[in-house]
Chain A
Amino acid sequence: MSHMAVETERSVPAPSIPARLLRRPLALTGLVIIAVVVLAAILAPWLAPYDPYEQFFEGLTIEGAPLPPDAQFWFGTDLVGRDLLSRLIYGAQTSLVIGVVANGIAVTIGSAVGISAGYFRGWVDTVLMRFTDLMMAFPALLLAIVLAAIFRPSLWIVAMVIAMVNWVQIARVTYTETRSIAERDFVVAERAMGAGAGRILFRHILPHLLSTIIVWATLGIATTVLLEATLSFLGIGVQPPIPSWGNIIFENQTYFTSAPWLVFIPGAAILALALAFNLVGDALRDILDPTQQGRH
């Protein structure tokens, strides 16, 4: 970053990126939601009112139905009488790992494949994109089942499996965009100056792909959390009784009409987390794009 040397001199320092994020109310809302979820995940043993695995005798009605939210169980209880709030707080750990780590890996792999194939063309393009097409044609769920069957199911294996099946769409999208950016004059100008591929890819092409990548990454959070739930439902995801937001929904979805809070509350949590990342992502995109300044 010796590059910055030029601009640091005789200039008023611009506010830092975090400071500019905090100045936007929407981005601030998103950051607060993300902070709440992260804190809940880390401090789960201290925050949760009950043990998430304990099946309370008083957690079910006489007929054996789950309890709606009340003063004792704030978010109600589930089918076997466990406290939903405690399970959600512990489930945040799983869902964060899946939504942020697994999805993050998928985005990184996808962008790397798409950008390299789009910029280098030739045989790199052929190999990488034909492989991507192959992955796309392969049913993601089937692949996940095979991978999960080979390795013993655990949270981290599930995260890897999700990353392995989720990078293909991002690769496709970034590939197409890279191809068009690579033909723009400013990239040709860089080549004319003798810039190497690394410099062009990371300093000139990647910044232009940020908005696309951010949108896909935030959309991916909700889908990966739900994919984890699907895998759990099939018995190859996070193993019960460990809670995750996705498997709470899946365990309880058949009782949606009689106990709607069991689906609605974890669903709202997933939505809020995805939305929060989206708000922060949007703000970040605008802040990082100098041509958008003063327009929001």
Chain B
Amino acid sequence: MSTARAIERETATGQLAVNGLTVQVATPSGARTVVDDLSFTLQPGKTLCIAGESGSGKSMTALALMRLLPQPMARVAHGTALLGGRDILALPEAEMRRVRGRRLGMIFQEPMTSLNPVLSIGRQLGGAIAAHGGISAQEIGRRALELLDQVQIPEPARRLKQYPHELSGGMRQRVVIAMALAQNPQILIADEPTTALDVTVQAQILALIRKLQADLGISVIMITHDMGVVAEMADDVLVMQHGRMVEHRPVQAVFTSPAETYTQELLAAVPRLGEMTGTTEPKRALERQDAGQDRPKAAAPLVEVENLTVRFDIKGGILQRPVRRVHAVEGVSFVIKPGETLSLVGESGCGKSTTGKALLNLIPWQGDIRVSGRSTRKLGASAMRPILRDVQMIFQDPYASLDPRMRVGDLVAEPLLIHGLASGSELADRVAYLFGRVGLSPDQMRRYPHEFSGGQRQRICIARALSLSPKLIVADESVAALDVSIQAQVLDLLQDIQDETGIAYLFISHDMAVVEQISHRVAVMYMGRFVEMGSRAQIFENPQHDYTRKLMAAVPVADPSRPRRAFMEKAEDLPSPVHALDYTPPRHAPRDIGGGHLVWEAR
């Protein structure tokens, strides 16, 4: 035993050699290969990024290496993965358990679901530390504190007693990282570790992983769809498509001279912050056929919002009386003109989606909203109906927003039927036209939403929103759930429709790069208020508010030659929007710094 230990220690360098890895998934029509003959070597202390779009097999690769493939549907058909001289794909399960945690640590995408909600942080971390027994309670406590300190969680002693729901997303992901590090693994496998996080938190977590790697000398396999993250993190890049390796080279080489067409396309589709400097019109991925730019800009605003305030009561006690209040949106005012795109940008919980929903009266609000001059204040469902012909909405998750039990043709026809605008063959023709308009074949009308891909589903949602010929579409994170190449296509489609029909968009997004591409004007939201509003050029070329600058600095840039950001000291969280019932928020007047560029600053 002692000699085996010695050998293990000797070869414990974090070098992993994968050769010919093939993973198959059982389907009703036979085995399907999802990872096909994949070979790579992870050098000790280096970061390998596996990049690819959804369905490329990148997560399956990670699960196969951890031997955590869903049983019995998926299996490793062949291939070897040599770690410390042993093939971990051939180890018996009992020995593999000693490899997991000790040699290979894993971080999953969604920090809430990878933590057990009913156990305290201390218990879960303790469980990870003592997974193989033989450690005293005091030793576990000491190590838990040390780990939390290592992942830069403030007040670690207090955190140990807290439960996952008491922590923010970023804090939870730090706990997950601490658990993965509990037994000093040599290799950390991170599957989309920052995808569910806000951009400023993402920047902190990425910097933390880099720092841990430098301090502890571990190797990292990072799985991501985001080429910006790749550029921030990678030493080597492995690009995957349909389960196959497309390209495997050092990061500089991949970004400066991508050898394969697919890599080139992937990189071209990535929106880059700052590439629009000096232009006023939105950008397109593919060039437009005729550049008819003389869109008449009518002076009368389409939508006027004044002092919009949304507060939710938190009820408690036996009588379910309001005890505290969430100040989701606090006194927001803006106008949208016909044919323009106004973007609301901010981090989760800043009130941007709430603002969008208020425009359609989907939530109760205070203040004043006028659509084409008609006030929508306190309108009931039927009084609101004519206004909804002018204002429609596209949601973030196209699958969730389509009734899974209805055929997509019926779903697109739904608004026309609700408003009694068409029936019979006229309805069928109209739906067929809408399908064609968004680039789908009318033959697909009889299929169900689950038979489509994510991008196609979002097209169906767009067709549905368009069916009433609205004047404004509220697009709530409408491309966030899509792969970059699909994202670019959908953004193009939205702009084509705008050019053709003069529709206006309220584009709600957390992604600064996408916002820069599509917007005429931009409003930055923070804690339920606007902090800065102006034209695209004003915001992106001359940001005035600290928060706007911070958001832009946090966006991962798809350029590996750019110096990587230094590690930030102790993590910070967004302040809470929950206040006592008698709280009156302070109001600030904006400062106009010229040309309609408004900045709200606390004085």
Contacts and interface: CB of A to CB of B under 8 A. Distances in A.
26 contacts: A3-B413, A5-B427, A6-B410, A6-B427, A6-B431, A7-B407, A7-B409, A185-B395, A185-B401, A186-B400, A186-B401, A188-B362, A189-B393, A191-B362, A192-B360, A193-B388, A194-B381, A194-B415, A194-B419, A197-B381, A207-B405, A290-B407, A290-B448, A290-B450, A291-B450, A295-B28
B125 to A, nearest CB: 32
A23 interface: no
B368 interface: no
B401 A189 contact: yes
Given A11-B446, A192-B362, A5 B424 contact: yes
A16 to B, nearest CB: 16
Contacts of B405: 207-208, 288-291
List the 7 shortest-distance A-B pairs measured between CB atoms, nearest first. A185-B400, A185-B401, A194-B388, A194-B385, A193-B415, A290-B448, A189-B401
Given A192-B360, A192-B362, A291-B450, A5 B395 contact: no
Interface in B410-433: 410, 413-415, 417-419, 423-425, 427-428, 431
A279 to B, nearest CB: 22
Nearest to A4: B410
Interface string B379-406: 0011011001100110111001111110
Given A9-B425, A199-B418, 8 more contacts: A5-B427, A185-B396, A185-B400, A186-B403, A196-B418, A207-B405, A291-B404, A294-B28
A168 B468 CA distance: 42
A193 B446 contact: no
B74 interface: no
Contacts of A289: 405
A2 B417 contact: yes
Interface string A236-262: 000000000000000000000000000
Given A197-B381, A290-B404, A2 B424 contact: yes
B265 to A, nearest CB: 31
B76 interface: no
A184 B428 contact: no
Contact of A5 (B362, B384, B392, B423): B423
B475 interface: no
A51 interface: no
Nearest to A289: B405
Interface string A193-218: 11111010000100110000000000
A190 interface: yes
B64 interface: no
Interface in A146-194: 184-186, 188-194
A204 B381 CA distance: 17
Nearest to B443: A10
Contact of A7 (B362, B404, B410, B418): B410
Nearest to B426: A5
A186 B398 CA distance: 9
Contact of A194 (B402, B403, B418, B427): B418
A213 B450 CA distance: 24
A89 to B, nearest CB: 41
B445 interface: yes
Given A189-B395, A192-B362, A193-B392, A6 B415 contact: no
Nearest to B431: A6
State the main secondary structure of chain A at its contact with B. Answer: helix
B381 A196 contact: yes
**Interface hub of A190, A194, A294 (most chain B Cβ within 10 A):** A194
B374 to A, nearest CB: 15
Contact of B428 (A5, A185, A199, A290): A5
Given A192-B362, A193-B392, A193-B418, A204 B445 contact: no
Interface string B333-367: 00000000000000000000000010010100000
A195 B362 CA distance: 12
A123 B146 CA distance: 52
Interface in B135-165: none
A3 to B, nearest CB: 6
A184 B402 CA distance: 10
A196 B420 CA distance: 12
Interface of A: 2-3, 5-7, 9, 11, 184-186, 188-197, 199, 204, 207-208, 288-291, 294-295
A98 to B, nearest CB: 32
B395 A188 contact: yes
Contacts of B424: 2, 5
Contacts of B397: 185
Nearest to A191: B362
Contacts of B400: 184-186
Contact of B446 (A2, A7, A189, A191): A7
A292 to B, nearest CB: 10
A199 B415 CA distance: 11
Contacts of B445: 6-7
Contacts of B403: 186, 190, 204
A17 to B, nearest CB: 14
A295 B450 CA distance: 13
A3 B388 contact: no
Contacts of A288: 405
Contact of B414 (A193, A290, A291, A294): A193
Given A195-B418, A196-B381, A6 B428 contact: yes
B404 A3 contact: no
A285 B557 CA distance: 50
B410 A192 contact: no
B381 A5 contact: no
A75 to B, nearest CB: 45
Interface string B21-50: 000000010000000000000000000000
A190 B428 CA distance: 20
B230 to A, nearest CB: 31
Contact of A291 (B381, B448, B464): B448
A38 to B, nearest CB: 30
Nearest to A14: B446
B414 A190 contact: yes
Nearest to B400: A185
**Interface hub of B414, B415, B418 (most chain A Cβ within 10 A):** B414
Contacts of A197: 381
A188 B418 CA distance: 15
Contact of A3 (B389, B410, B468): B410
Nearest to B420: A2
Interface string B530-569: 0000000000000000000000000000000000000000
A2 B395 CA distance: 27
Given A6-B445, A7-B407, A195 B392 contact: no
B505 to A, nearest CB: 15
Nearest to B412: A6
**Interface hub of B402, B404, B427, B468 (most chain A Cβ within 10 A):** B404
A208 B403 CA distance: 9
Nearest to A204: B403
A186 B402 contact: yes
A211 to B, nearest CB: 11
A124 to B, nearest CB: 15
A291 B402 CA distance: 13
Interface in B437-466: 445-446, 448, 450, 461, 464
Nearest to A205: B403
A195 B448 CA distance: 21
Contacts of A6: 407, 409-410, 413, 427-428, 431, 445
A291 to B, nearest CB: 5
Contacts of B382: 196
A3 B425 CA distance: 11
